[in-house]
Structures are given as C-alpha cells and as structure tokens.
Structure 1
Amino acid sequence: MLSMKRSILTVLFAAGLAVPAGAIQVETLRRSVPLSTGGSGTEEIQVASGEVFVQFSNGVSSAAKNQAFSARGMSLLQEFPSIHWDLARLPPGMSVSNGLIFARGVDGVQAVTHNTAYRPTKVPNDPNYASQYHLASINMPAAWEYEVGSSSTVTIAVVDAGIEVTHPELKDKFLSTSYYCDPGSDDTAGTGAVCVPETPLIACNHGTRVAGVAAAASNNGTGVAGVSWGARLLSFRVFNTTDCTTDCGDKAGGNTCFTDDQAIINALTTIITVNKSSPTVNRMVVNLSIGGGGTCAAGDPVNTALGNAVAADIPVFVSAGNGNPTTINKPGNCPNAIPVGATDANNNIASFSSRGPELAANGFVAPGVAIVTTDLSGSYTGGATGTSFSSPIGAGVAALMIAKDPAITWATIKSNLRASAVGIGVASLTPSTRVMGESSGAGLLNAFRAMKLTAEGTLSGFDGDAKVIAFPNPFRPSTHGAATITIPTGLQGKNADIRIYTMAGEFVRQLGSNTSWDGKNDAGNDVASGVYILLVKTDAGMQKARLALIR
C-alpha cells in the first residue's frame, strides 16, 4: 500500500501549533443550507483538508482521470469503483470551499463533494452508575429466552478506534484478523486495498467500550454481560494510534482525533469482501459509533457504500450524535443507515441525543447514559455515555435476530426492530399510531418484542399490545434503575396521566406522561417492597396494571 501523509494546515502553522505526524488535517467548511422554516442558513462542518470527492461520467479510464486532474494541478488519491466516486487532492494551499468549485471544472467531472471528518461520538463520562440497567430497560432477559447468540455464527464488525483484544471479556470473541483503514491514505496504485490486516492496536478507549456493550462474554461468572453472548467480534480501526488521547480527545497542539469518509468507505467495502470470502464470519452486523457534520443525500459517497452493505444484507447501526438537538450526525443521517438515539436510566430521551427526521424515518432509541461496559487494561467503566453506546445495543440485538433466523434480510431486521419498539413520551401520541418522532424514532428498543417478532412472525399474544404492562416485573430498583410502562395502541391518546397506588389504594406517585418509574414516591423517597397498582388514563380510556417491586 502506498501511503503519503498530508501537509500540516497553514492555519495551524500560523497559530504556532504542532500537529502529530499522521493526523488527519481538518478545516471548517461553511455552507448554505435550507431551513425547515423556509429560507436558508449557514452551517459549519469539519472536513478533511486539501481533498474532495469527485464523480466522473461513466466510462472514464484511470489514465484519463489522471490526465484531467494533472491539467488542473490536482492528483488522484484513490478510486472507489464500487461506489463510482474518486478521492482527489486539491492544488497546494487551496481551501476545500474553493476546491469544491474548482474541481467542477475538471474535464468529465459531473459531481463534487467534501470528505467529512468524524470524531468518536461521546460526551463526558458519568461514573456514578454501577449496574447494567440498560439490559433491563430493553427487556433483554426475556429476549435471551429466545436466543443468546449461539444458534448460528454472527460477527459484529466494530468500525471504531480499535479494540483491546486482551480484555478478559473480549479476547475469546475475536476472529484472528483485525484491520486498519488508514484515514488519509494515498492509493495511487488504484488497488482499493487500503484496509490492511494488523496486529490489533487501539487509538483510544472508545472501541473497547462499544465492543463490550454489543458482545462482551456473558454468563461466565465475571465482569459484565454483552447484548449478544455468542456474537464474534471483528475490529476495523479507522483512527490513527498517534492522533487521540486515551479518552479519544485531541492530542496537545491541534485537532487530531479524526477519521474521514475515505476510511469509512474503505472499511465498509472491506467488510463486504470479508463477508463474502470468509466462512468463519458467516453473517455480519456493523456498528459505526462516530459522528460528523453535514447532510447525506442518496448519492453521497458514504451512503452509496452503505447501500452496498444493504445489498449484501449487512445492517449498519450508527450513533445518532450528541449535543445537537435538531440534526442527526453524518453518517447516521444517511438513508441507508440505521441511526440510534439515546435514553437515560428513566427511559427519557437523553438531553444530548441528536434529533431529526432521519431518526423518525429509519431509527429508534436505546439506553446511552452511564452504561456499564468493558474498558482499557482489562477493566470496566460505569460511565460510558453517549449515543455511541446506544448504537451497539441495537447491533447486538440484530446479531441475536440473525442467530435465531440466519435467513433474515436487512429489511426485515430494520422493520422488526422498529415495529417492536415501545412508544415513549405518551403526551405526544395520537390514537392508533406508534410514536415516530424526531426525538425517539420508532420508540425505545424492546429486545424481547423484536425477538418474538423474528421468531414467531407476529406480536399477537403479547399483552403489551392489548393492555398496559410494566417491565421488568418484578422490578428491583437497585439493579434495574427504572421500570418501563408500555401503553397499548388502543389507549394511546392525549392528556396522558399515569399514577401509582398501593394495593390498599394509597396514593404513591403521579408520573403524568412519563412512562418510567424509579421506585420513589412523590416526596422522592424509596417505597417499600410490595405490589403496586399502575393507573393509566388518556383521552382514549383507562387501564390498570400491577407491578411487583423488590428492594
């Protein structure tokens, strides 16, 4: 593989900043975007400096491309035949903003776009939780009655910062090969072989945490439990080991902890090849817990690569993003991605979880605050927070679905996950509809319902579709964090009011439209062990349910 690293940005030189060798150089691209309220506004996104993606007319040879680029002072970095896009280097010193215009003048070019820069999607850690509440929140114990992931081989490809393969909860889950997809590589030879096998390395802790959520060794008497007990793991590292601090921040001296579209496309292309050629991986699921700025239309290079994965029946789960209340991060906003937003321990939408129409159209939400998972040096953390840790929950459940039904298609995986999700935020529900909001997508992932739908082809006979239920039941606050109350379709309506009473009829708590209960009364005090009555009223009617609470 030929490799030529990028020159340091002029702006960094001007500021007197030193950027570690090999780091992706980034710059800010400002561009006009349409607003939902009408008119246009300006957005700023981080992009790889000094290069752009271009799309030639059909039939243009590599030699003709090189000649056309050379005439404009540009050069070909890498061809992507599978998606019909090429990555080109701009003339020295040219900004991407100017380059997008300049490259349109290259003979034979019909489309041009930028090379998005990505970071691991994370927010500051909160290490105060000490239990895996997220497994109860999505009803994993009931789902495991259908499948633990051992019926047939499924491999989860973690496209991230690398995974610590010596971790006791992960070491036996790995396939023999890991890959490095170099962000910023120069494939002038046109081989496309930019993801290379490597002795597993890590750029920061992010990938190890993500891998543990999806597939840590389980039922082994130690450590934590992953969503899929039987899934194998395959690491695709897309961050340089010299670019990031241990917690995935920038190294001193500049913006360094980035990957880009090029590395993501190469990873997806290699995954498809491995899936076809290696019988040991069998079926595959991909997790991408990264995020960058910008839109992602159907013809975007990354979406085209995601489309190739879809065509190979490989579902790709992507973190929705953190900190932007109105925009799903790229590549989670790509039409062929399955974006996953975050909920907290009380099954409310996390304040940082990104919102947008792409989540409503293609995704759902799962726990993503203070997730307990694997960490570096063979340790564990209770502070994995961000949609980065919601996405691998979805990937893990998809792996269980495939293990149960090896012939299941990408479309059915996505459909079953969304159709079985639990509506949250009852105040916004209308009768006979499931919540499909920009905040919660199809709703909160329910692994049991997803597995039932996969195994039986129907949700009929599930009480939650006919009456109010609460899970887990029995509910242990110290272990589960919160109990979730599901509202059947026939009761969904406005003016929701949920109240909790003792069996003797004594008032305990008014939840209003909140569909989770933390085991406390209205005064904020822990209630005693016992059986409690849940009274749910909406404009569509009233129902009762019982919940056993154990201290």
Structure 2
Amino acid sequence: MNNNVFRRGVLAAALAAAMASTVSFAAAVSPTGDPARMDLTSLQGQPTFNRFIVTYRQGSSERANHAAAVQTATAALNRAGLVRAGRSVAGAPASVSMRFQRKLAVGGDLLRTSRSLDRTEAEALIRQLSTDPAVAYVVPDVMRHRVRDVAASTLLQPQTVTPNDTYYAKYQWNLKAPDGTVTTEGHANLGGTNVNNAWDLADGTGVVIAVLDTGITTHVDVDTSLGDAGYDFIVDSFVSGRATDGRVPGGWDTGDWTTEEPWLTECTDATHPPEDSSWHGTHVASTAGAELTNNARGMAGIAHGAKILPVRVLGHCGGYDSDINDAIVWAAGGHVDGVPDNTHPAKVINLSLGGPGTCKAKDPAAQAVAAANALGAVVVVAAGNEDIDASKTSPASCPGVITVASTGITSRRAFYSNYGKAVEIAAPGGGVYENDADSGTPVNDGFIWQALNSGATTPVPNDTLYGGYAGTSQATPHVAGVVALMQSARLAAGMALMTPAEVLATLQQTAHAPSVKPPANRRIGAGIVDADAAVRAAVGDGDATVLTNGVPLMGQSGSTGSSTVYMLSVPAGVHTLSLRADGGRGNVSMYVKAGAAGGASDYDYKSARPGNRESVVVPRPAAGSWYVTVVGETAFTGMNVVGSFRAPR
C-alpha cells in the first residue's frame, strides 16, 4: 500500500509548475457519472486509493473475462485523463495502468492501479467507470479500521487473580441486571444487560460466533479451540505483516502495531497516531463468549458455551473492504475462491470495525451481508465512535445488519457513540467517566473489561493480562453474544433457529428503555439489549408460541374447546398494539392479557365475534410480554394469528 500521505503537498507544487506546458488534469476530467452505479461517499476515508471494486453486469463479457474487464477499466482511465501518451513532464503524475487482482465472493472484480490516485483522480475514475454500460456498480476498496476505543488506564486494571471468575463481581457490571444495584465503585447500575439471568436458560452451546477483527491470541482464560479453524483473510503483505501476499489458515492475531517502519510513515497521522498492537479481536471475542466462565479466574463471557471462530481481517493500518466482504461470506458458510470452505459456519458474525461511507444495497459490503443473511447468519456491527450519524459510516449503514450504539452504566448514550436511524439497538460499551459524562476522571465501571495481551508488538503466548476498553466495539459483542444465547436456547428446545429478521425483531421488542432518554436527534434504536427477556421471548414462556412483530403465524388449527396461547414481546414506547386472528374456517374467541396467559375468566381484553375474525387494539401498551389465548368455540382450521406494532425510534 502506497498512501504517500505526506507527499501530497510536494506533488501538488510540482504539478502546478508543470501546468504551463501541459494540459490541466482538471480540464481533462469529465464531471459525468451515473449516481445509481457508483458510490463516492467513502472517498473521505483516506487520502489516496489504488484499489477499486467493479461489479460488471450479468451477461457482459467483462463479468466472465478478466482481460475484457481490464480493457474496460483502462478505457475509463483514459477518459479520466489518467493515461498519458509520450514522455511525462517532470513533476507531473505518472500515467496510470490497470491490472486485475481477483474475483470477490460477491461477484465483483478487484482492480488495482499502477500508482496511488489522490481523491480527485479516484473520483474521476469512478465516475468514468460508472458510465460504461458493462458496469453495474463501482466503489473504492477502502481501508477500514477497528473502532478506535478508549483504553482504560493501567492504574484501573486488575492486578492479581484470586478465586470464581474473580473479577466478575467488581468489574462486569455490564452483564448484570439494570436494577439500580450499587456497584463496588459506588454507582447505581442502570445500564446492564441482564445476562446473569439469561444464563439460567442458555449459555450459547451449539452456536458458532465469528469475530471478524484482528484475530485472537492465546490466553489462560480464553477458549481458542477454533483458532486454527479460523482464517487470515488479509491478502496484502503490507497489512498482514507477512513476507508475501496471500491468505493463510488460522485466525491468529500476529499484531497490528504502527510504531515502526514501514507502517509508521505510511499509516500514521494526527487522526491515527502510532500505536502498539491493540489485541482488539481478543477483547471483543472474550466479551462475546470466548472468555472461560465459572472457572475460578478472571472475567466471564456472555455466550461462553458457544464456539468463537476468529477471522483476521484487520492488520497493520486496518483492513480492506475486499478482504472483509469475502470474510463475511466465508464465515457464514459461503464459498470464496482460493480458500477452503469453512468447516464451522457461524450463525452470528461480529464486526467491530468501520469507516466513512454510506452503504447501499448495491454496495459489495451489503451484498456480502445479504449472502450471510441468506445462509442464516446474523451480522452485528458497531455504530462507530465518532459521535456522528451512523448512516454516514459503513458497514454500520448496510441493509441487513444489526447496528449497535454504546451506553454506559447510567444507561446514557456514551459521549463518543454514533447514533441515528441506522442504529437498531444499544448495549454497554462503557461511558469512561463518572456518571457517563464526556470528560472527567475515568472510573472502573466506565469500561468493559476482558482478556487482553501484554505484547507491545507480537503476542505473549498464554498471557494473563486483563484490560478495559470503552467503545461501540465493546457494545457490539454484547449483542452478538445475546443472539447466540437466543439461538442456543432454541436449539435446546428443539426449535428451528430464528431468521436474522426474527432475531432483530425480538431484540428490539425485548430491549429495555434507557433511564436517561437520549435526545430526539441522538437516538440509539429500540433501547438497551436485555439478554434475559430476549432469550425468554426466543423460546416462548411455557407453552406459549412466540409471535414476531408484524409476521403472521399461518395455518393455525384447533378442536372445539381447545386453548392455544401466543406471546408477543412489546418494547417501551409503543403507541398502539394490534392483535388479530382471521382466515380459515371455524369459530374462535380471543383473550388478551399482559404479563401472563389468560383465558375466558381472566383477561385484560377480549374479542368474541362469530367466526374467525377477532381483533384487539391496545392503546399505549405496557412494555413486556403480551399473551393471546385463542379458544376454539368450534373446531377451526387455516387461521392466521398476527401481533403488530410500530417500534419506537
């Protein structure tokens, strides 16, 4: 990668001097382009670009023929004024050529220019590519970064390990009930996730969570049993730190430090200062479930019965979209050319990474998510730490993902957390300061604590270090872990796994409202994830059949005198709840009750019309579980039952 960040000023001066005897680059560039076939929003993410993802139309020769694809791209380079015949004038940018790199899992071609282009040149090329009839969509292959979290001071870190999950009581407020219990630091816990109660029902057994991050390191308190089964998807040797280009087996974190050359010059600036290795993937994976739990040492993990599949997509300076998108498909069980198929397909994928850009349905990242969703994988993504609208970041704005904002122990939105309509739900990421303020003195329960590594560059094997981070990176694995608990509970009950859409609906329906309500222009989705409520809703309560908001349960039947119970989880803030039965043949009555199943002698609302058309509308329903009991006045068949509401935003 040749970003040449600090050479732009010299290059600009040389180009200005040469313009007296050459044609202006700006004059040669056509401002045309097809907005429906390109995305320019992520060009603000870095100063230079030399990789582009071009998706050619089905049936085009370019789609099947690499040489034709390069020829089309070269023509676009020429129209953009980047191909210069004859001898270059001293100081002017060199002529640009194009070469094919590889075909991506979602069908796009990764093309690479012979030199890095500045933003103006890159935009000109993308615009020209978008005008070609063979091109369906074109985006720059952007370098994404781990969400840059706030690290806890070493003065706050645990110093010794003593005997069960020794640090759970003091440090892991985030896994406990948000009932106001005062922590050992003297703060009322209003922001926890109720994981401790959910453990009575599920621990994640039978589910694989893929963590697409920096990889994982060995630690005395971390399950790395799928470390070798994971994969390192980083192709570029500059990013991976290996001697040669190419992907390799194993999801191990070999370090992502930028304190030394060549990364010090190429990857650091005021926004990205030099840093030791972050061991980000180990921390994230530990929260989701890799942390060994109830083993008389360290911390606890959420879905500690699940298996964590580490996939390395971030290295020195970050990771490219092209690698990340392939890894999403592979993690879910899809095929990627040149990589052995995943033998442990994940039903949950965690992405605590991102950067600038708006992700549309045609974007390769969105297509990768859609492919994973189609394979049954729930994709959970960090909203980002820039205190901006998450719709301006990717992959947080991709359709099909569950985007997670960050809250602190008071339930307040963390000062750094992104927000907005792209956010579906919130989870503890840590507020850093006293009372989740935006400044002050850092406190222990302002962070999320998990296993880390003490190596400054390369990892220390079987390390014993624990550390605190605060960020949406930490909020995201809370949701990923809870999803694994939900799916695990369904497996244990002999039920089919929920679809990604059903998972999202259930998470939102069962979320608890923050005690500190965010302002209208800083919304963080349906509320804070509630693990216990989500797991109970996923499997139903007793004999109740779970309803998903707005999704009809088709073909219901029963005999005369039969009683069938359905349950719908309703979040706080709903304006109107509608419960209906219709269709088919026969005659039923419907009894509705909040909090417990009712019947003909015990109900809050009822509907007892002749036939199968029954309806109850509840204005401003209380948050919680609502039960619908359908009684067969005569035998009935082919009836549909549906509960619906508009979730608060």
TM-score range, shorter chain: 0.5 to 0.7
Q: Does 1:226 align with 2:316?
A: no
Alignment-mate amino acid for residue 365 of structure 1: A
Question: Which letter maps to 2:536?
Answer: K
The correspondence for 1:144, drawn from 199, 221, 237, is 199
Instruction: Tell me if 1:331 matches 2:372.
Output: no
Among residues 515, 525, 532, which one is paired with 1:448 in the alignment?
A: 532
Partner of 2:263: none
1:7 match? 2
1:67 matched to 2:79? The reply is no
Q: Using the alignment, how far apart are the partners of 2:207 and 2:335 within structure 1? A: 11
Distance change (3 Å), C-alpha of 1:92 and 1:231: same
Deviations 1:117-154 (A, max 9, x none): 2211133223448510000111111111111123xx21
Classify 1:311/1:391 alpha carbon distance in 2 versus 1 (closer, same or farther; 3 Å): same
**Does structure 1 conserve the Cα–Cα contact (< 8 Å) formed by 2:332 and 2:345?**
no
The reply to whether residue 123 of structure 1 matches residue 149 of structure 2 is: yes
1:342–1:490: structure 2 CA closer, same or farther, 3 Å change rule? closer
CA distance, structure 2, for counterparts of residue 454 and residue 364 of structure 1: 17
**For the structure 1 residues 458 and 344, does the alpha-carbon distance in structure 2 shift closer, same or farther, using more than 3 Å as the test?**
farther
For the residue of structure 2 that corresponds to 1:229, the secondary structure is coil
Offset at residue 91 of structure 1 (A): 4.9
Selected match of 2:449 from 372, 377, 395: 372
TM-score normalised per structure 1: 0.67
Q: Contact conserved, 1:76 with 1:86, CA < 8 A, in 2?
A: no
SS at match of 1:200: coil
User: Which of 137, 141, 156 lines up with 1:111 in the alignment?
Assistant: 137
State the partner residue of 1:397.
Answer: 482
Preserved contact between residue 160 and residue 236 of structure 1 (Cα < 8 Å): yes
Give the match for residue 266 of structure 1. 326
Checking the alignment, whether the CA contact within 8 Å between 2:106 and 2:368 is kept in structure 1 is: yes
The aligned amino acid for 1:383 is G
**Equivalent in 154, 167, 180 of residue 207 of structure 2:** 154
Partner of 1:433: none
1:415 and 2:505 matched? yes
1:78-477 aligned at under 5 Å gives the runs: 78-80=101-103, 82-106=105-129, 108-127=134-153, 128=156, 130-136=170-176, 137-150=192-205, 153-164=206-217, 166-182=218-234, 184=236, 195-198=247-250, 200-203=252-255, 204=277, 205-215=279-289, 216-240=291-315, 243=316, 257-273=317-333, 281=344, 283-328=346-391, 329-359=393-423, 363-369=424-430, 370-377=447-454, 378-406=463-491, 407-408=496-497, 409-425=499-515, 438-456=522-540
1:479 alignment partner in structure 2:
none
**SS state at 2:228 partner:** coil
- Could you say if the C-alpha distance between residues 199 and 425 of structure 1 is closer, same or farther in structure 2, counting changes exceeding 3 Å? closer
Distance 1:140 1:295, change over 3 A: same
Deviates more, 1:169-178 or 1:384-393: 169-178
* Structure-2 change in CA distance of 1:82 and 1:200 (3 Å): closer
Q: For CA contacts below 8 A with separation 6 or more, give which structure has more relative contact order.
A: 1
Q: CA distance change for structure 1 residues 222 and 114 in 2, over 3 Å: closer, same or farther?
A: same
Asked if the contact 2:572/2:622 (under 8 Å) is kept, the reply is no
- Whether the aligned pair in 2 keeps the contact of 1:143 and 1:451 (CA below 8 Å) is yes
Structure-1 separation of matches of 2:358 and 2:574: 37
**With structure 2 as the length reference, what TM-score do the two structures score?**
0.57
For 1:218 and 1:402, the matched residues in 2 are separated by 19
What do residues 485-517 of structure 1 show as CA deviations (whole Å, max 9, x unaligned)? xx9848999xxxxxxxxxxxxxxxxxxxxxxxx
Counterpart code for 1:159: L
Q: Report which stretch shifted further, 227-236 or 281-290.
A: 281-290
Cα drift, residue 197 of structure 1: 0.7
Alpha-carbon distance, 1:162 to partner: 1.5
CA apart distance, 1:351: 0.8
| C-alpha separation in 2, matches of 1:120 and 1:455 | 34
CA contact (8 A) 1:213 1:227 kept: yes
Task: Report the 3-state secondary structure (helix = DSSP H, G, I; strand = E; otherwise coil) of the residue aligned with 2:390.
Answer: coil
The aligned residue for residue 57 of structure 2 is 57
Matches of 1:282 and 1:269 in 2, distance apart?
Answer: 10
Distance 1:542 1:315 in 2: 29
- The 1:391/1:262 distance shift into structure 2, 3 A limit, reads same
> What is the percentage of aligned positions where both structures have the same residue?
28
1:173 CA drift (Å):
4.1
Distance 1:279 1:383 in 2: 32
Would the alpha carbon gap of residues 66 and 353 (structure 1) be closer, same or farther in structure 2, given more than 3 Å must change?
Answer: same
**Equivalent position amino acid for 2:490 in 1:** D
Q: Any idea what SS the aligned residue of 1:167 has?
A: coil
Mapped partners of 2:201, 2:295: distance in 1: 19
54-63 vs 318-327, which moves further: 54-63
Distance apart, 1:52 and its partner CA? 2.0
SS in 1 for 2:405: strand
SS at match of 2:534: helix
- CA shift, 1:405, in A, is 1.8
Q: Taking structure 1 as reference, are residues 439 and 83 closer, same or farther at Cα in structure 2, changes over 3 Å only?
A: same
- SS of residue in 2 equivalent to 1:321: coil
- Kindly state the Cα deviation for residue 14 of structure 1 after the two structures are TM-superposed: 6.4
Give how far 1:275 is off: 8.9
Specify the alignment match of 2:184 in structure 1.
Answer: none
1:52–1:99: 8 Å Cα contact kept in structure 2? no
- SS of alignment partner, residue 512 of structure 2: coil
Give the secondary structure class of the aligned counterpart of 1:451.
helix
Question: What letter matches 2:344 in structure 1?
Answer: V
8 Å contact kept, 1:51–1:114: yes
Q: What is the number of equivalent residue pairs in this alignment? A: 413
Cα distance change of structure 1 residues 184 and 438 upon mapping to structure 2, 3 Å threshold: farther
Let me know the Cα RMSD of the aligned residues. Answer: 3.8
- Cα distance change, pair 346–299 in 1 and its aligned pair in 2 (3 A): same
- Against the structure 1 CA distance between its residues 47 and 273, is the aligned structure 2 distance closer, same or farther, given a 3 Å change threshold? farther
CA change 1:299–1:199 in 2 (3 A) is closer
Which of the pair has more CA radius of gyration? 2
SS in 2 for 1:182: coil
Change (3 A) 1:159 1:335: same
- Quickly say closer, same or farther: Cα 1:441–1:109, change in 2 above 3 A: same
* Aligned CA distance change for structure 1 residues 390 and 303 (closer, same or farther; 3 Å): same
User: CA shift at 1:297, angstroms?
Assistant: 1.1
CA change 1:279–1:120 in 2 (3 A) is closer
Aligned match of 1:549 = none
Q: Distance in 1 between matches of 2:284 and 2:147?
A: 11
Equivalent position amino acid for 1:218 in 2: T
Measure how far apart 1:310 and its partner are: 0.8
Give how far 1:381 is off.
3.4
1:349 positional shift:
1.0
